[in-house]
Copies of this chain bind each other. A is one copy, B any other.
């Protein structure tokens, strides 16, 4: 780490939670049935992608904070839109609480995320955000294919 740092710990959390607020809006736009059943070209349903995001955020941070390297489990028992949104909302304060427990000086330490991805913690966290933007954009495409207008990309307010 050098002294030309440009993004603070607080700013990265705000950035991530802003993206999560947008992802929540994308979940809300899906009709219940299509959320769990619609897909393009052998891809997963958007519900399955959301379960992946849920199984990465809090468990991944818990691993970083508490030095755990357990594998992830994307197969969450969340079978309704309401259950997905509730799980999303329950994750929100947990993410903030866990994130705030990571000392600034640890962000450049390696962590073996889920026992598989051994990278500096700031890269683990950027991966969480990138992976969410990536799958959410697939959700945007599903919505467009269903002729549903997705939320504006820049709507990030909680």
Contacts and interface: CB of A to CB of B under 8 A. Distances in A.
Interface of A: 1-2, 4-12, 15, 19, 40-43, 104, 107-108, 122, 126, 129-131, 133-138, 140-147, 153
Instruction: Give how many copies assemble into the complex.
Output: 2
A23 to B, nearest CB: 12
A147 B41 contact: yes
B4 A6 contact: no
Main secondary structure of the interface of A (DSSP, over half): helix
B4 A141 contact: no
Contact of A40 (B107, B136, B141): B141
B9 A141 contact: no
Contact of A145 (B9, B15, B41, B108): B41
A109 to B, nearest CB: 11
A142 B40 CA distance: 9
Contacts of A130: 19, 129, 133
18 contacts: A4-B9, A5-B9, A5-B104, A6-B7, A6-B12, A7-B12, A7-B122, A11-B122, A15-B126, A41-B145, A41-B146, A41-B147, A43-B141, A133-B133, A134-B134, A134-B140, A137-B137, A137-B141
